[in-house]
Amino acid sequence: MNFDSTRSDLIALAKEGCALCHGLGLRRNGKKTDAPCNCVLRSVFRACYKRFRLCASREKHITRVRLEQVNGKDRSNTWGMKDEEFMADFCLVSRRALNDEEYQIFKFHYLLAADWKLCCRRLKMDRGTFFHAVYRIQQKLGHVYRELQPYALFPLDEYFGGIVRTDRVARTGGVLLQMPSIEKRASLRPPLRQVA
């Protein structure tokens, strides 16, 4: 498992009363290596699902096209609708990661928002089997959402393009953005001391 997080991230996502990790977010594997606990993976899934529902419940006239800077060799800009892209990624990644039986449960319970009674009746399973399947789906998708390459769905602030800074602006604190360009000035003169 290549869950690239710091311990503080895992502690923040961990369930305080978890019997496996005791709120630390890490559990022991059989190989003496620490792995993220299942409660952390379920928290990742729930955060992504909450954002999915928020994006789906917004009015369509509220969403807007955004200009985003693409870092890399060319440093170009691209246009995108992040809410719609996130909803599409959420559904498509889930479909690819789950088998047919798991996807049926995911579709009825999460995408169509059916409660557990309706899902159990429709899928012909008992309550215990249904909830065990739901927990497995949450764990599986939480891991996939976090480890997706090249761009993960979680953390959400990185997906939705938090602050994009170049090295030059980060070093100078944004001073270069406020200064006029050098081409417009004839020469650079240092400030002189006032004579009283």
Which of the residues in the chain have pLDDT under 50?
1-2, 163-185
What's the pLDDT score for residue 24? 79
- DSSP line for 106-132: HIIIIIS---HHHHHHHHT--HHHHHH
Q: State pLDDT tens for residues 137-155.
A: 999 999 999 888 877 888 8
What's the pLDDT score for residue 170? 42
What's the pLDDT score for residue 135? 94
Domain ranges of the chain: 7-184
| Cβ neighbours of residue 135 closer than 8 Å, sequence gap 6 or more | 38, 42
Structure tokens at 161: 């393009």
Q: SS3 of 33, please?
A: coil
What's the pLDDT score for residue 35? 79
- Angle, helix 82-97 to helix 127-147, in steps of 10 degrees: 120
| Cβ neighbours of residue 94 closer than 8 Å, sequence gap 6 or more | 103, 106, 141, 144
Q: Which of 127, 36, 52 is nearest to 91 (CA)?
A: 52
| Cβ neighbours of residue 65 closer than 8 Å, sequence gap 6 or more | 79, 80, 81
